[in-house]
Amino acid sequence: MSHNSHRNHHQHSISDLKRLASGRWREILTAAGLPAELLADRRGKPCPKCGGRDRFASLPDFDTRGSLICRHCHNASSNPRSGDGLASLQWWLGCSMAEAIVWLRSFLGLGVGKHIPVQAIKPTMAPPPKPVQSESDRLRIELMADVCRRNLTGPGIAHLAKQLGVHPQSLRQLQVGWCASLCATTWPMRDGIGNIIGVRTREPVTAAKGSMSGGNGGLFYDPDRIANIESGARIWIAEGPTDTAALLTLGLDAVGIPSAKSGGDQLLELGRRILPSEIVIVADGDDSGIESARKLRSELVIVAGVRIILPPVGIKDAREWINRGASRVDLENEAGAAEVFKFDCTDGGAA
Ligand SMILES: [Zn+2]
């Protein structure tokens, strides 16, 4: 049945509009005021709405689908959530779906009268990021991490491993050390490339945590191991260094975030570099752990499918779970049974 020609503009359905817009999304969103250079390629760029360095990108088949994402303000959990070109338009113009449809209809020449170009409201940029670490600070931190690592010899490693219930090798992989002046163990923190950018300190008895001055927060991982993961391997994310050591003890390719709701940008950089088949977040078993895992999931979903697993009720985190006897197979089974969260740009968002 071909009665499209008899329809007037009121009867154009959303799918008709999308069909007409398909292939023209670059032109449409640029006409709405989105800077064209942000759409030039798919590399991460500063978000035109909320700033940052590389949090904004267009998704595959951009001209056809018009899908855009910003890790902070336009993603699987934002409103509107990231999806097709209509969602992009709604996000960019800061308007309702109905208003975006009116705008698009008008742009496509289906509206009443002449198209009046509506420009997005001048976006307010996010405050500038905190000053970057100076190269001399970074080198000093790296040197301190190395000195501390040398302080912790075989018997020290064995003692700490026993106390934490992890394998000594996991502590070597994380290059754990000992700072005599602070009377604390030291845990290097790295950026997504593998550079040491900070050092977490942990008092062995009280478990009180701190950090060495001049450093930044970063990820706990073994850069050699992660650079050489088998293709198709999962990476496993834990909160904090000792939980990361526990996952490494089971032979899992583990990366630790510095604390709840942090490390997302660095993980994304790491993920883009190593392209894991899947990411499994082993959340801490409390409300903030779960909330943190969900936030991380929405940030990482553009790199790979993400699953979240939780220790059984009454167990607080990955290390306690493993200390109580959970095996690699147990965690893999949990992960296999957990829902996979994927970014699907064909049906308007994350499934
Ligand atoms: Zn944004």
Distance from C-alpha of 147 to C-alpha of 139, rounded to nearest angstrom: 12
Model confidence band, residue 7 (pLDDT cutoffs 50, 70, 90): very low
Interval 105-120: pLDDT, tens: 888 887 655 555 554 4
At which residue do the structure tokens 């905190």 appear?
Answer: 130
Question: Is residue 280 a contact partner of residue 201, using CB atoms and an 8 Å limit?
Answer: no
Distance from C-alpha of 262 to C-alpha of 9, rounded to nearest angstrom: 48
Closest CA to 148 of 115, 202, 187: 187
* CA 91 / ligand 1 centre spacing (Å): 10
- Domain range holding 17? 4-107
Q: Are residues 236 and 334 in the same domain?
A: yes
Interval 36-45: pLDDT, tens: 999 999 899 9
Average pLDDT over residues 115-127: 47
pLDDT of residue 113: 53
* CA 102 / ligand 1 centre spacing (Å): 24
* CA 153 / ligand 1 centre spacing (Å): 46
Model confidence band, residue 175 (pLDDT cutoffs 50, 70, 90): very high
Write down the mean pLDDT value for the chain.
87
* CA 70 / ligand 1 centre spacing (Å): 5
* CA 98 / ligand 1 centre spacing (Å): 22
Model confidence band, residue 348 (pLDDT cutoffs 50, 70, 90): very low
Interval 194-242: pLDDT, tens: 999 999 999 988 999 999 888 899 999 999 999 888 877 899 999 999 9
Beta bridge partners of 47: 51
Q: Are residues 57 and 164 in the same domain?
A: no
> In which element (H, E) is residue 280 found?
strand 278-282
Closest CA to 48 of 66, 60, 30: 30
Question: Is residue 220 a contact partner of residue 297, using CB atoms and an 8 Å limit?
Answer: no
Q: Are residues 93 and 182 in the same domain?
A: no
For residue 119, being part of any structural domain is answered with no
pLDDT of residue 22: 95
* CA 227 / ligand 1 centre spacing (Å): 30
* CA 183 / ligand 1 centre spacing (Å): 42
Interval 87-104: pLDDT, tens: 999 999 888 888 888 888
* CA 225 / ligand 1 centre spacing (Å): 33
Q: Are residues 61 and 169 in the same domain?
A: no
Model confidence band, residue 12 (pLDDT cutoffs 50, 70, 90): low
For residue 122, being part of any structural domain is answered with no
Asked whether residue 257 carries a pLDDT value surpassing 50, the answer given is yes
* CA 69 / ligand 1 centre spacing (Å): 8
* CA 46 / ligand 1 centre spacing (Å): 8
* CA 281 / ligand 1 centre spacing (Å): 24
Q: How far is CA 39 from CA 26, 47, 349, in A?
A: 7, 11, 19
Q: Are residues 90 and 148 in the same domain?
A: no
Q: Are residues 188 and 324 in the same domain?
A: yes
* CA 121 / ligand 1 centre spacing (Å): 14
For residue 54, being part of any structural domain is answered with yes
Asked whether residue 128 carries a pLDDT value surpassing 80, the answer given is no
pLDDT of residue 176: 98
* CA 56 / ligand 1 centre spacing (Å): 6
- The greatest distance separating any two alpha carbons of the chain, rounded to the nearest whole angstrom, comes to 85
Residue predicted with more confidence, 245 or 112 = 245
* CA 82 / ligand 1 centre spacing (Å): 11
Sign of the four-CA dihedral 67, 72, 76, 81: negative
> 113 burial class (0-12, 13-18, 19+ CB within 10 angstroms)?
exposed
Q: Cis peptide leading into 241, omega within 30 of 0?
A: no
Q: What is the DSSP letter of 36?
A: G
For residue 120, being part of any structural domain is answered with no
* CA 88 / ligand 1 centre spacing (Å): 12
* CA 39 / ligand 1 centre spacing (Å): 14
pLDDT of residue 344: 60
For residue 126, being part of any structural domain is answered with no
Q: What is the DSSP letter of 117?
A: -
Asked whether residue 266 carries a pLDDT value surpassing 90, the answer given is yes
Please list the alpha-helical segments (H only) found in the chain.
Answer: 14-21, 25-31, 62-65, 85-93, 97-107, 135-151, 154-164, 168-173, 223-227, 241-249, 264-274, 287-300, 318-323, 328-337
State what percent of residues in the chain have pLDDT above 90: 63
* CA 92 / ligand 1 centre spacing (Å): 10
* CA 51 / ligand 1 centre spacing (Å): 6
What is the identity of the amino acid at 82? S
* CA 126 / ligand 1 centre spacing (Å): 9
Interval 47-67: pLDDT, tens: 988 888 899 999 999 999 999
Residue 231's domain is classified under what CATH number? 3.40.1360.10
Q: Are residues 144 and 200 in the same domain?
A: yes
User: How many separate domains does the chain show?
Assistant: 2
Distance from C-alpha of 96 to C-alpha of 215, rounded to nearest angstrom: 43
Question: Quick one: tokens of 230?
Answer: 């088998």
pLDDT of residue 117: 52
Model confidence band, residue 127 (pLDDT cutoffs 50, 70, 90): very low
Contacts 24+ apart (CB under 8 A), 270-273: 270/192, 270/219, 270/221, 270/226, 271/235, 271/300, 271/303, 271/304, 272/192, 272/303, 273/192, 273/193
Interval 130-165: pLDDT, tens: 557 788 888 889 989 999 999 999 999 999 999 999
Question: Is residue 244 a contact partner of residue 202, using CB atoms and an 8 Å limit?
Answer: no
Residue predicted with more confidence, 181 or 120 = 181
